[in-house]
Structure 1
């Protein structure tokens, strides 16, 4: 068993991931009841002594987002009142991250509100994977370990042996993330400009970069309806790309996404299990972030650096 004074508690958003993390670390999942009353109120009871322990709470704010967020806040409060020495909220997928600024009048900055709620509830530290906007780390007044899924995705992408590879961002906002992949994969970089007509309708308008005859890898941090991905992929295919794959950290797939992927030109979508994913017989490859999060938990528990987790083999 590795880890000292270490307790891991899972909410209901992604219990399988929590179990895989515990298996990687070699510790049992802490016995806890995380349920709801008939009226919908969340209830948490920790059935083990956690006084003076280093407690890690595993919970993504995936659908149902508000229920899972409230469940996490209650878990934090329960751990604090049970005299945990340190409480770390491990949030593989940080919801509300797109609401990180006032881009129109009289709208909230909900990503900051969520940060305030987590801190006020009693979290001492936060661990997240591929935040939609890196500046969200600055919304917290407690330490944030912002892990990158790239090392998890990289090895699988390399095994594909893609020819004449071009990494593309499906919109301008994803260029920085795509650039990191392009540099590590030592290939070309481009992006697609788009117009958003609604929350579910996107139009790809133009491409920066020559994709003719290339195997194209679309990179994004998250997708729900696959509108941006599929619109970009169609335009890229029209420009003469040979193959199109996509790598997405957080796949919060709705029914519309499955329909678009079924009928679109994307050959394979590579995702992680920060959110539970059902491939539904589609070419969706799910890679686990359990070793990444497990190693981060061990290092935090031992007060060691997590910097090397951002590196991949050979770099």
Structure 2
């Protein structure tokens, strides 16, 4: 049975359809002190697949409750699908005395499940932090489908060298174009990011800037503004995880983005493509 977290209802429904499995209808209620109670009163069967993007601290607590609830309801086997894993960017201690937050949450999630499926984690090595088997699903190629046909001599750009593989995956799925990347330097003391434009010729070319996540939109909008100054064609941004927190969407529009493409790992207006078929194959 597919059991959705409150932040992944559409994805869970699509997954149930693709996998041919029944869909549970959890109930979520909050007590006056702010504590949540997530329950699965209509759960049936001995196998549960909990689908929950952990895009907030509350979502993590809710996931742990759902894992425990399906066990209480009789599930003997639990698979946890993390479409988006929060804290995956905190994969190491950046300063003395800081936690490895990705490790802490992975260990917590592991206590209530027999298996985990991750969708394009920010740092692939976070899979090693879980105490149960982990399958990683790479969703970047799906981002090519919503892009318009006939892009003009397209250039697929990553915001830094580590993300160039994502740009290559989208380019290959699209069926043509070149790839390149910006130089990005992050100051971990201030959190500020400096982006140096690529030397690639973008004149009259359509550009697709590809990353795994757009959170605040600051890095992406800075990258877009840099190439907009060089007489490029249309600019698209594509990401697996469209967090788009705060005024991120406005930042991107102000920088000159024609369209934002994202998957439904985080359910937002820009969720143009579903990872459900990929996750269904991994179940």
Common fold by TM > 0.5: yes
Q: Equivalent residue for 2:72?
A: 81
Matches of 1:247 and 1:160 in 2, distance apart? 15
Q: Equivalent residue for 1:263?
A: 254
Which aligned pairs between 1:133-282 and structure 2 lie closer than 5 A? 133-157=123-147, 159-184=148-173, 185-196=175-186, 198-199=190-191, 202-278=193-269
Greater mean alpha carbon deviation, residues 27-36 or residues 247-256: 27-36
Q: Equivalent residue for 1:61?
A: 54
Residue 237 of structure 1 and its aligned partner are, at CA, apart by: 1.9
Q: How many residues align?
A: 280
Structure 2 residue corresponding to 1:294, chosen from 268, 280, 283? 280
Greater mean alpha carbon deviation, residues 219-228 or residues 258-267: 258-267
Distance 1:293 1:228, change over 3 A: same
Alignment partner of 1:129 is 2:119: yes
Question: Runs of at least 4 residues of structure 1 off by over 4 A?
Answer: 195-199
Distance 1:259 1:11, change over 3 A: same
Q: Equivalent residue for 1:36?
A: 30
Matches of 1:262 and 1:155 in 2, distance apart? 21
Partner deviation per Cα, 1:285-305 (whole Å, 9 max, x = no partner): 622223333343xxx3xxxxx
Alignment partner of 1:12 is 2:6: yes
Residue 49 of structure 1 and its aligned partner are, at CA, apart by: 5.3
Gaps of 5+ in 1: 1-6, 279-283, 301-315
Contact 2:13 2:23 in 1 (8 A): yes
Greater mean alpha carbon deviation, residues 217-226 or residues 135-144: 135-144
Contact 1:230 1:260 in 2 (8 A): yes
Residue 29 of structure 1 and its aligned partner are, at CA, apart by: 1.6
